[in-house]
Amino acid sequence: MSFLKSSRFRLWLVVLSLFAISACAIQQPVKENSPRVFVVGDSTASYYKPERYPRTGWAMRLQNHLADGVEVVNAAVSGRSSRSFIEEGHFNKVKEQIKQGDYLLIQFGHNDQKTTNNRFTDPDNTYRDYLTQYINAARQAGANPVLVTSINRYKFSQNGKLFLTLGDYPKAMHELGRTLSVPVIALNQKTKTLYETLGPEKSKKLFLFYAPGEYAAYPNGVSDRTHLSVWGADEVVSLVVEDLKQIAPELF
């Protein structure tokens, strides 16, 4: 009987040890405090369903570059400006989720130029005012705001010179970043350099220039100078990542 009891006792020890090892194995990889990266912005960053392929927002490709456990929350919405994103309530969803240690990437500008649907902001005042709301909300939550200037559109002159179509919005964002001590990723300048390095013809592949029937999403063809292809999104997000590695190395 004593032998049986001692055998059972040893068996229980083995079972308990296995449970302890299993528990450690399960808990070890979990990083409860891993930061998340929230992205607010417009259609150049936003998510697209497969039926819109190959149209791709650059933020859709950001997850591929980050460390395991770091989650991207792509909250960008097509057609929104820094103003309409707030006034339509889209930013409320972000504020409900963002927490201490997270990052908020803020990219607006394309639709701030437009006068329809209550989107327009003035780069000298209201644009900065709305961007400040994003920055303050992030900081109040203990998160880290990062400003990102808008990508350039595809627009070359006949002599191969790139036209800058974002006006004073990138300049205003840089000035606000200096004033409020917020890092700025100069994506407007970076994409300018990228397009000019590739040249007018190869740069087209960054965007949506397709013949009729080439893709189901564009049965009549398309010449879209603003939105990115898959390759375009990969190239643009790599420019974001270059600076983000310096700003937030813990994400990589």
Residues, the chain: 252
Which tokens belong to 6? 């001692």
Compute the distance between CA of residue 240 and CA of residue 226 in angstroms, rounded to an integer. 17
Q: What is the pLDDT along the chain (252 residues), one digit of tens a residue?
A: 443 344 343 433 333 333 333 333 333 343 568 999 999 999 999 999 999 999 999 999 999 999 999 999 999 999 999 999 999 999 999 999 999 999 999 999 999 999 999 999 999 999 999 999 999 999 999 999 999 999 999 999 888 889 999 999 999 999 999 999 999 999 999 999 999 999 999 999 999 999 999 999 999 999 999 999 999 999 999 999 999 999 999 999
Q: Give the closest residue to 210 by CA, choosing from 192, 232, 185, 188.
A: 232
Note whether 173 and 124 are within 8 A (CB). Answer: no
Is residue 245 situated within a structural domain?
yes
Q: Does any domain span residue 13?
A: no
**C-alpha distances in Å from residue 161, one per residue of 55, 154, 200:** 25, 11, 9
131 within a domain of the structure (yes/no): yes
Contact between residue 88 and residue 58 where contact means Cβ atoms under 8 Å apart = no
3-state secondary structure of 58: helix
Domain-located, residue 3: no
DSSP of 100-120: TT-EEEEE--TGGG--STT--
Nearest to 130 by CA among 170, 176, 182: 176
- Give the containing element (helix H, strand E) for 146: strand 144-148
User: 131 with 106: CB under 8 angstroms?
Assistant: yes
The whole-number pLDDT of residue 188 equals 98
> Which CATH number fits the domain that encloses residue 75?
3.40.50.1110
Amino acid at 244: L
Q: Which domain holds residue 105?
A: 33-251
pLDDT in tens, 35-53: 999 999 999 999 999 999 9
β-strand pairing of 103-107 with 71-74:
unpaired
Quote the pTM value. 0.86
For residues 76 and 248, the answer to whether their CB atoms sit within 8 Å is no
How many distinct structural domains can be found in the chain? 1
* Residue 17: inside a domain: no
> Under DSSP, is residue 35 helix (H, G, I), strand (E, B) or coil?
coil
Evaluate whether residue 11 is within a structural domain: no
pLDDT of residue 31: 55
Q: Give the model's pLDDT for residue 161.
A: 87
Residue 22 lies in a domain: no
Q: Is residue 38 part of a domain?
A: yes
> From CA 192, how far away is CA 163, in angstroms rounded?
9
Query: Quick one: tokens of 119?
Result: 């989107």
The predicted-structure confidence for 196-234, as pLDDT tens digits, reads as follows 999 999 999 999 999 999 999 999 999 999 999 999 999
pLDDT score, position 160: 83
